Structure formats: structure tokens, C-alpha cells
Amino acid sequence: MLNGEEFGRLFGAFERTAFRLETLSVYSVEDEHEEFERFLAGGDMGPDWDDNPWVRSMTDKGKQVSRVHVLRSPLTDYLRYELAAYQGNIAAGETIRIIDLSEQAVTGLPDHDFWLFDDQDVYRMHYTPEGAFTNAELLPAHCLVEYQDYRDRALAEAVPFADYWERHH
């Protein structure tokens, strides 16, 4: 099990690809609390929202970062905030797709988040009931094919973020 700092180091260490499946409707990220409150108040979100430096730090090195977010409309305040921030992630080179379970029935995906690095290491993410990250669990090698299949199924079912955003924003 890796804590937040240990897990964060993986983003500098992967060589080619990082894929995330997101499944929660709320994430409680301490570093985001002030920004989230500013978003809810309609405040200026700053330049990082136009081009996310964290994503850019990876994509500028030729690394591919992608995610599929499985969610259900109507969106929580947190999801409205997170999806609004995706514009800067996309500008920085991340590929983002959405599965809205209120619009399409998708089965066979896990009910938990995971990251797949370089198509070889899978980390299951663990959170508190309130959405605070607790740790990341490196899954055994025999789970790799199963999680590659989850990734492939999610990518096949999801719609590009721009299409989703155009319909819902």
C-alpha cells in the first residue's frame, strides 16, 4: 500500500502511459478545498485551469495521460467543479472520456478507481466514504489482464469529454 506521497512519485516514474478509471461522485482533496469554494462562489479559477501544469509536466515529456470518468447525472457540486477543471487538463494533453450511467447502461466495470501505468502496473485506489484518498494498492500481476480489459471496455463505451460537455454545460 502506498500513501499519497509515495503514490505521487509514480507519475514521474512511468515511461509511456497512465490511465485512470474514476468512479466517485465526490473526492475530498485537501489541496482543493479553497479552490472548490472559489468555484462554488463563481470566482476566478486562475491560469492553471487553462493549462494544467501537473498534466503538462508529463505530456511535455511525450507521456500519454488518459482517463474515463464513470458518473451519474445530475452532477454533484464536486463533479461540476472537477469537470470544469478538465478543460485545463485537456489543453495540457490529457485525453478524457465520460460514461454517464444515467444515459447509458454500462456493465462489467469495477466500482472502484484504479490507475494503470505503462500497461503493466495496476494500482487500486482506496478512499474513505467521504472520498478522501487513503492509499493505493499495487495489485498482483495476475490481475493485469482483467484491468487492461476494464480499461479497454471503458474507453470503448465512453464518449469524448467535449461531446459530453457540449450536451451538459
Range of the domain at 116: 4-168
DSSP H stretches of helix in the chain:
4-8, 10-13, 33-40, 53-59, 77-91, 144-157, 161-168
Q: Write out pLDDT tens, residues 47-86.
A: 888 999 999 999 999 999 999 999 999 999 999 999 999 9
Q: Specify the pLDDT at position 45.
A: 87
- What is residue 88's predicted lDDT score, i.e. its pLDDT? 95
134: CATH: 3.30.870.10
User: Per residue in 22-33, pLDDT tens?
Assistant: 999 999 988 888
Domain count, the chain: 1
Q: Which residues pair with 22 in a beta bridge?
A: 69
Provide the pLDDT confidence category of residue 16 given band limits of 50, 70 and 90. very high
Which one-letter DSSP state was computed for residue 16?
S
Tell me, what's the pLDDT at 129?
94
Nearest residue to 54 via CA among 104, 29, 81, 88 = 88
User: Looking at residue 30, what is its pLDDT?
Assistant: 85
CA distance 115 to 122: 6
pLDDT band (50, 70, 90) for residue 112: very high
Give pTM, 2 decimals: 0.95
For residue 78, the model assigns a pLDDT of 94
